[in-house]
Amino acid sequence: MKRIICLMTLTAMLGCGGQLEQLALETMQNAQIALTSAETMGAQETAGTPLRTAQKMLATAENAMNAGDTERAYRLALRAYLHARIATETAIAVREEALVQEAQAQLALSEQSVTEVLERLAVIKAEFEALRDD
């Protein structure tokens, strides 16, 4: 009975090891995709620290995987992925904030133009009323 339990435990451990390795590889691929996405969104300029951290963690994860430390590779790859997502979302937020500020500036200019037109209209109405009264 002990032999069967030991054999089952050994089989489970070997099976999980392969799954962990596959999970680590997939997570490293996802982290690389997230890094590419962050760079495409302009994270170098807006979210430099999380992006650089993600790049370093992914490189360390690859080194850990090459050294056979699958668990560490997985953890680092997951953290690299998360940092890359933070960089992407920060870049998106910065870009959207810039668009909002631009829209607010255009709105202010439009409001100023409307005010000027209304003032001219009031002057024209006053002149028209003065002409009509004469």
Judge contact between 55 and 106, C-beta under 8 A.
Answer: no
Residue 13 to residue 8: CA distance in whole angstroms: 9
CATH T-level topology, domain 20-108: Substrate Binding Domain Of Dnak; Chain:A; Domain 2 (1.20.1270)
- The better pLDDT of the pair 1, 56 is held by 56
At 132 the pLDDT is 86
For residue 74, name the pLDDT band (cuts at 50, 70, 90).
Answer: very high
pLDDT in tens, 13-64: 445 557 999 999 999 999 999 999 998 888 887 766 888 899 999 999 999 9
For residue 130, name the pLDDT band (cuts at 50, 70, 90).
Answer: confident
At 83 the pLDDT is 93
Judge contact between 23 and 56, C-beta under 8 A.
Answer: no
pLDDT in tens, 80-110: 999 999 999 999 999 999 999 999 999 999 9
For residue 12, name the pLDDT band (cuts at 50, 70, 90).
Answer: very low
Measure the N-to-C terminal CA separation of the chain; round to a whole number of Å: 118
At 17 the pLDDT is 58
Please check the confidence at residue 11 and state whether its pLDDT lies above 60.
no
